[in-house]
Structure 1
Amino acid sequence: MSRTIKEIYDEAVAERNRRLELLEFGSDSKLSILNGILWVAAAVIYTFEVILDTFAVDISEVINNRINGTPAYYVRALLQYQKGDELSVREDGLAFGYASVDESKRLVTQATYAESHTDDNLDAKLILKVATGATGHLEAVSPEDLVLLNAYIGRIKFAGTRVEVTSRRGDVLIPRLTVYYDGAVTESEVLDGIEVKINDYMSSIDFDAAIYVSKVMAAIRSAAHVTDVYIDTEAVPAQGVFLASYNTDGLLEATERIARVRQTASGYLTQSSGRDEQRELPTFREALILQVDRHEV
């Protein structure tokens, strides 16, 4: 980032004052010849630094928009995909795009990447994890659209690169915790406030961010009238923060307790719907146990 003219001028004056051979020319007057020269020189240097900043931004845009085969390149490509439109590639092969940008045709709103290795194939495979929908209301891309996305990536990927696009239903968050409250309101009001805070937490975290038990508990603790959040080691069923994730075949796997931190399989969190395969998974209200805090001061 370019410096201001005043910053450049002050640095030049400070450097001049450190040189003994120039001390006899020292002057505090803004109208002195030497200070005037310094001010003009500072203005010239400032102009040059602004030009360099502009040049750096332009170069950065060119590099980001060209085909370079990095994981970030594939993520950007998925975010730009427009369903039903014909993809065109420049003659020099350095960039691609659509005749017109139509955000209503875009499928992917969130995307990230990870590398996967297997014992039978030591070459890394790039796994691109995607979701659609607005933040806080993310959903898995439909199987039909997922086929289109994989075909799209197949067209633009570098030769020899192993890439797969995946999209899973959201990981179900189950906070089996004991929550203490001040008893000033009804249980229903407390649960309403807790549900809002948990939903706010799920909406605030980045796509594919790690889930921390402490942050889930802190979100609950921030609700009005809540005085403490506790994991009862003697409770039945066992307490803690749990996740139930879907596998690549769309099947719900067994619920697992988060020891401290865990990465989601889908990249985002949801609450149990209480229906179909999630009928055995409790909602936030069903998972929490409320207790009036008798020790509150």
Structure 2
Amino acid sequence: MSRTLKEIYNEAVSERNKRMELAEFSSDSKLSILNGITWVVAAVIHSFETLLDVFAYDISETINRRVNGTPDYYARALLQYQKGDELTVREDGLAFGYASVDESKRIITQVSYDESSDDVNLDSKLVLKVATGEKGNLSAVDADELVQIRTYLSKIKFAGTRIEVTSLPGDLLVPRLSVFWDGAISEAEVFDNIEEQLKEYMMNVEFNAAVYVSKVMEAIRSAAHVTDVWIDEEAVPAQGVFLACHDSDGILQPMRKIARVQHTTSGYLRQSSGKDAEEQIPNFRQSLKLSVDGR
């Protein structure tokens, strides 16, 4: 870590004062020629040490990113996947790459990883979750394209490494809750305000992050004119915050109530479309029970 300019200057003055041949030039004035020269030299040394700090940080970051075979290495490799392009071997034969970088072909925008193990295999398996699209509007990678992505990984992975790549439709968030509002606006406007806050919440949740019941309720409570959010234990159907997730084959499973916190299966959240397999899964407006506070 670089020294401060004052530390360098004080050390230089201290060293200078040890030399008898410079004693006759000694002065306490900050405006003396010798002190001025010392200050300039100290500033140059400080700038050089700062540059070394930046250089050391950049080198460390580069080395960390190039550690081959780590989970982070495979996650970064997936982000660099280019749809439709063929991998080529570098001239020295030590790595794969693309002939040219084309950001428009990099369809994978979100990646997370977990390591899992079972009783059959002693070695753990690296499970990579991927999604495409912008944050807040993510979707699963097409099944045919997922085959190409797995082929891409099989070419760059190290021998003996067990890797699984999954890309599932987003987990459906179902907030079955009792919501009270002040009655100052219409019910339709309250729904609009709540939906806006829930969409913002889903957009801000990190990929593959945990879903907390308290944070979902907090998002609803932050909507304009909402006074309270409550889980009615006696309500029918049962209230709470639910998730409807897809299994490894992409088949939508029944809703499950979150006790306090739960990780997403797909890595991201979305609202039910109410179509096809999601027809029986309520959207935000269908899930919430609105009441005017005090009535």
1:137 corresponds to: 137
Structure 2 contact 30–36 (Cα < 8 Å) conserved = no
TM-score (norm 2): 0.89
Matches within 5 A, 1:277-292: 277-292=277-292
Q: For the structure 1 residues 16 and 240, does the alpha-carbon distance in structure 2 shift closer, same or farther, using more than 3 Å as the test?
A: farther
Q: Name whichever of 259-268 and 45-54 sits farther off.
A: 45-54
Q: Distance in 2 between matches of 1:117 and 1:124?
A: 4
Matches within 5 A, 1:201-216: 201-216=201-216
Structure 2 contact 8–42 (Cα < 8 Å) conserved = no
> Which consecutive residues of structure 1, in runs of 5 or more, have no partner in the other structure?
none
1:183 corresponds to: 183
Listed one character per residue, the Cα deviations across residues 236-272 of structure 1 (whole Å, up to 9, x for unaligned) are 1111111010010111112111111110000000111
Matching of residue 254 in structure 1 with residue 250 in structure 2:
no
Matching of residue 29 in structure 1 with residue 26 in structure 2:
no
Structure 1 contact 221–228 (Cα < 8 Å) conserved = yes
Q: Distance in 1 between matches of 2:213 and 2:12?
A: 54
TM-score (norm 1): 0.88
Q: Distance in 2 between matches of 1:263 and 1:119?
A: 23
Q: Distance in 2 between matches of 1:92 and 1:133?
A: 35
Listed one character per residue, the Cα deviations across residues 172-231 of structure 1 (whole Å, up to 9, x for unaligned) are 000000001000111111001100110011011111111111111111111111011111
Structure 2 contact 12–38 (Cα < 8 Å) conserved = no
Give me the identity figure in percent. Answer: 59
Residue of 6, 9, 13 corresponding to 2:10: 13
| AA matched with 2:281 | L
1:112 corresponds to: 112
Matching of residue 198 in structure 1 with residue 198 in structure 2:
yes
> Which consecutive residues of structure 2, in runs of 5 or more, have no partner in the other structure?
none
Q: Distance in 1 between matches of 2:32 and 2:260?
A: 66
Q: Across the two proteins, how many residue pairs are aligned to each other? A: 288
Q: Distance in 2 between matches of 1:45 and 1:93?
A: 42
Q: Distance in 2 between matches of 1:30 and 1:218?
A: 61
Where 1:190 maps in the other structure, the secondary structure is helix
| AA matched with 1:152 | Y
| AA matched with 2:82 | Q
Q: Distance in 1 between matches of 2:98 and 2:56?
A: 26
Structure 2 contact 9–39 (Cα < 8 Å) conserved = no
Alpha-carbon offset, residue 291 of structure 1: 0.9
Where 1:242 maps in the other structure, the secondary structure is strand
Matches within 5 A, 1:1-297: 7-10=4-7, 12-13=9-10, 27-31=28-32, 33=34, 35-36=35-36, 38-60=38-60, 62-64=62-64, 66=66, 68-294=68-294
Alpha-carbon offset, residue 61 of structure 1: 5.4
